[in-house]
Structure 1
Amino acid sequence: MKKQSSHKTLFIVVAIATPFLLNGVWGFSPHKELHAVAITALPPPLFGFYKTHQSEIIRRATDADKRKHGVNSEAAKHYIDLDQFREGVDQCGWYDACELYSEDTLQERGVLPWNIERVYRSLVIELSNSGLKGDTTASLNRILRLSADLGHYIGDAHVPLHTTSNYNGQTTGQFGIHALWETHVYETSRDSWSGKRVQATYIKDLRKWIWDVIYDSHSDVEEVLYKERIIREKPDAPEGWGYRTRGRTLALIPTPAFCEEYGKAMGGMVERRFYLSAEGIASVWYSAWVDAGAPNLSRDFSLTKQKKCIKDTSHVILKIKRELIRFYLGLVPNQQELDEDDQ
């Protein structure tokens, strides 16, 4: 009876901790690093612009995941359940897909590939308008937001469990494998990665590229599930769960030993897909810039920097002015003292 009670407690703790572990694909930290690595892969015309705004892009790298908690339609943009399309899925545009499967069906099974196309087109339009007169600050913010969102969705497309309805092992008794693969294996193994140089290349056919990425990710689903089950069922399997502090929360999460063995069993899949994802993000940013006519972004947004400098300078001038006033008042006697002297 005592052992049974312990299992119930374990289930409750895992159930409570799970929402915090499933913040999003790749987890928050990997997503931010994906964007940082992608920036290093950009060619000189783009590298300077994205490097200048790197902190903002990295900060926004997880915005898409955060929106899932408040925007009902957001979640479907992060996945596609290929296994739910029994007869395959036609690699067509959004409107044709709605005709073939109905929009409700697509929203239920996920719209990731079509969403990437949509955000890509929006980024191309925004980049092509970058040299026009108008509010350059607003335009810059839109470019940074779209770039971060696009990078996020491309990262999603490179995760095998975002291409299957069994995304968290719920149908195979492997509940929690989602965060295990994309967050905990990353955190455990990241320091031992050898690193890989990534380089952005122009993508001639974006739609074909997107579907190639998704099908390639889907081809790893079976191994992701199988290797976890093999490790867990071994007679000498490492302890699967343990308590660890994450921020201010004491959570029950996979142990480093289990994560390490699972990562090795997959032959470095997480590392390989991480760098494929970073290179993909850079390539899509670069392709959007080329398709927009290769605008000179550093020149187009130089006014934004000037306005910021003027704003910062005015703040300093105001501070100096206040100090001078205080100094002057210190030299001049107050009115009461003057009145007493006159008497």
Structure 2
Amino acid sequence: MKKPCFWWIKALFIGFILILCTSWGFFAHKEINKMAVFTLPQPLMSFYKEHLDVVREQAVNPDKRRYIVSGEAPKHYMDIEYYTDSILLYRPTWYEACQKYPADSLQAHGILPWNLIRLTYRLTDAFKHRDAKTILKLSADMGHYVGDLHVPLHTTKNYNGQLTGQHGIHGLWESRLPELFAHNYNYYLGEATYRPNIQKEVWDALAESRACVDSVLSIELRLQKKFTEDKIFSYEDHNGQSVRVYSVAFSEAYHASMNDMVQKRMRAAIKLTGDLWYTCWVNAGKPDVHTFAAPVYSDAELEEITALKKTINENCSH
């Protein structure tokens, strides 16, 4: 038998380490998944804690796939401008959306909420089948998409400020700010709760993110006028290289002017992630997680996972 080739990981080694090291996905997505585990009631918490490294490390897998797997990228965003804000009230099902919009338009303008809702059905099914390996994979993916759902710039075609002369704001909001300030965030959120209407919860979160877009853009634009360019940007050493980044002073001003928006969105993402994991387990009939067979990984998978973690540790500062 030929040794399985996990080509998406090998491709990551070649081209995407730098992308992941500078994205929200690499830091905040892992933090969201990790903290969501501690919102779970027993016995579910014990199961997830036992596999915390897997759930945390695999939180970035969807971002790895989006650059090399066809059809992955649209799962991470929704350009509300294309659908118009009325979609946040209408909230069509996937079937209804397919009847109204051309398939190529859906793929071009994003399917984030529908993908996430579909994923909850898959996770529920994995719980019913007591498939620990699939449960962990889908849980990690779900946490990632919930994280994306809570990023305002994932709801607009002006996702990186390219339409308003604010190129780079995406990385500022979801990478630089958490990197600088997340260690001071309050992650105590209480226990996960059952969500009987998953579609409502997902669309509510999307609408909340959409409502933040104007502030995200307008506040940064206003601050640009108060700082000279040499004060907006600075240079920092990253792995022996001088890298241009948003300055600490500008980042602090932006973070403060948004009234803890980043913290609030991260907290909401953590809570919804835990709630959805718990809801899927309940909907599956609350199977006894202590009876699940331990997930089995092939030697090739274990080698690739170990190599990936080693490469990331060597190339990233987080």
* Residues 99 and 233 of structure 1, relative CA distance in 2, 3 Å threshold: same
Q: Which has the higher contact order (CA 8 A, sep 6+)?
A: 2
1:128 aligns with 128
**Equivalent position of 2:86 in the other structure:** 88
Paired residues of 2:77 and 2:112 also in contact (CA < 8 A): yes
Where does the alignment leave 5 or more consecutive residues of structure 2 unmatched?
A: 1-16, 299-318
- In our comparison, the structure showing a higher alpha carbon Rg is 1
Which of the numbers 170, 192, 213 marks the counterpart of 1:221?
213
Q: Against the structure 1 CA distance between its residues 253 and 25, is the aligned structure 2 distance closer, same or farther, given a 3 Å change threshold?
A: closer
Q: Would the aligned equivalents of 2:132 and 2:292 in 1 still touch at CA under 8 Å?
A: no
What letter matches 1:176 in structure 2? G
Letter in 1 for 2:196: K
Q: How far apart in 2 are the matches of 1:248 and 1:118?
A: 43
SS in 1 for 2:158: coil
CA deviation digits over 1:286-333, x for unaligned, max 9?
0000011110111122xx38999xxxxxxxxxxxxxxxxxxxxxxxxx
Once the two structures are superposed, the pairs formed by residues 7-18 of structure 1 within 5 Å of their partners are none
- Measure the CA separation in 1 of the matches of 2:52 and 2:221: 39
How many Å separate the matches in 1 of 2:273 and 2:172? 23
Q: TM-score, normalised by structure 1?
A: 0.77
The match for 1:158 is 150
* AA aligned opposite 2:176: H
CA distance in 2: counterparts of 1:85 and 1:228, whole angstroms: 26
- Specify the code of the residue in structure 2 equivalent to 1:260: E
Contact 2:35 2:187 in 1 (8 A): no
**Are residues 1:118 and 2:110 paired?**
no
For residues 193-249 of structure 1, give each alpha carbon's deviation from its aligned partner in whole angstroms, at most 9, with x where no partner exists: 344334311111101111010001100000000111111111578811122233465
Assess if the C-alpha contact under 8 Å between 1:231 and 1:237 holds in 2. no
Deviation at residue 88 of structure 1 after TM alignment = 2.3
Q: CA deviation at 1:158?
A: 0.5
Is the Cα contact below 8 Å between 1:61 and 1:152 reproduced in 2? yes
Partner letter of residue 209 of structure 1?
A: E
Rounded to whole Å, the distance in 1 between the matches of 2:22 and 2:202 is: 20
User: Secondary structure of 2:279's match?
Assistant: helix
Does the 8 A contact of 1:116 with 1:154 survive in 2? yes
Per-residue CA shift, 1:251-307, capped at 9, x if unaligned? 211111111110000011001111111001000000000011110111122xx3899
- How far the C-alpha of 1:150 sits from its partner, in A, is 0.6
- Rounded to whole Å, the distance in 1 between the matches of 2:296 and 2:169 is 49
Q: Amino acid of the residue matched to residue 75 of structure 1?
A: A
Q: 2:60 aligns with which of 38, 59, 62?
A: 62
Which of 144, 156, 159 aligns to 1:167? It is 159
Contact 2:159–2:170 (Cα < 8 Å) also in 1? yes
Letter in 1 for 2:78: I
Q: 1:292 aligns with which of 275, 284, 290?
A: 284
- The one-letter amino acid of 2:97's match is A
**Counterpart AA for 2:144:** H
> 1:238 and 1:193 mapped to 2: Cα distance?
29
What residue ranges of structure 1 are gaps of 5+ in the alignment?
1-18, 131-138, 309-343
Secondary structure, counterpart of 1:252 in structure 2: strand
Q: What do the CA deviations read for 1:141-164 (whole angstroms, capped 9, x no partner)?
A: 211100000110001000100011
Matched letter for residue 129 of structure 1: H
The CA distance in 2 between the partners of 1:97 and 1:306, in whole Å, is: 38
- The count of corresponding residues between Structure 1 and Structure 2 is 281
Partner of 1:233: 225
In structure 2, the CA distance between the partners of 1:80 and 1:265, relative to structure 1 (3 Å rule), is: same
Counterpart CA distance in 2 for 1:66 and 1:234 is: 37
194-203 or 55-64, larger mean C-alpha shift? 194-203
Counterpart for residue 305 of structure 2: none
Letter in 2 for 1:93: T
Give the alignment of 1:1-343 within 5 angstroms.
Answer: 20=18, 26-86=24-84, 88-89=86-87, 90-130=90-130, 139-234=131-226, 239-247=231-239, 249-301=241-293, 304=294
3-state SS in 2 of match to 1:239: helix
| Residue identity matched to 2:111 | V
CA distance in 1: counterparts of 2:169 and 2:296, whole angstroms: 49
TM-score, scaled to structure 2: 0.83
Q: Deviations over 1:75-94 (max 9, x none)?
A: 10000011212372241221
User: 1:162-202: per-residue Cα shift (whole Å, max 9, x none)?
Assistant: 01110000101000000100110111112333443343111
User: Structure 1 residue 55: deviation in Å?
Assistant: 0.5
Cα distance in 1 between the residues matched to 2:227 and 2:28 = 32
